[in-house]
Structure 1
């Protein structure tokens, strides 16, 4: 496992580099990952707008910022993501803002399809769902915990929708994004803070 993590870290990038890669590919009519399609291009365009808005509007609650600032150790937050993923667009900007407020957190981004071995270590019910935040001890690279691909409330909404409709269609996706909009990143913050408090 350690070798896989070390290799992924060698290929990792900053949040700004991650955003720039998505934007550059979009300008060429392409998306991140192994698959290219009109649908994925459309989702990526929507996600660019979402991420731009979230970067301006997301606030890290003062008490959360204080907790992140008072972590006892230094950590790497390694995030697996893709530009076309709607959940990533809602969650990754919040993770970025949280990492920014703490000198104890170094945020690194990797793309899922470029890091298959890493992704396969962090499957969700057998699926390669993103985003996935992996918390590493900065000195030893030991895996201390992970979060994702969705906060509990969003997970429940999708489970309920699937139970009712048999699948998640465009209406289901719209409901999910409305949930994120109303939540304002608070559930994501709380669940990650809870994880860090357990680890720390």
Structure 2
């Protein structure tokens, strides 16, 4: 296989393999520069708190009942009450650190939220799930920085994509340049041959 054919094969396969990440990184890069525009595409609304106080399920919560609610929403987790934060969505709340999530219980009604890195879920006082809000800004930032959503595997996928893009660009430059260099070489050889023919006369 010739060098040029090898480069062409490498370039073609790289283009196919990295295309999804090229599109993702391009889109999330656009988000970095125009966050309001991109976020307007996605549903980002919080669950409305207007009906909390009038709900027939609403019950005032003390620390013990709020912790019991938190234990239902984060079973098996060690709960630690955050003494420094007591407001969420403009409401007085108990906030429990449950490891990967915070469990937030509204003091006046018992409505609750679980708040993780990528989503916020809203629950009624009886534990019924009501709504999930995806935190798209963090999802898009994670995709741009790591190549996917999450931190467990670090940035290796984004690093591989970046390296593949460099090779893709360089191989594209080689494929662009080689035919032109070959044509120039052929023109020079043809001109030299014609000159020799004329000189022989």
Q: When you count helix as a share of all residues, which structure comes out higher?
A: 1
Q: Does 1 or 2 have the higher relative contact order (CA < 8 Å, sep 6+)?
A: 1
Q: Which has the larger radius of gyration?
A: 2
TM class by shorter-chain length?
A: under 0.3
TM-score by length of 2: 0.23
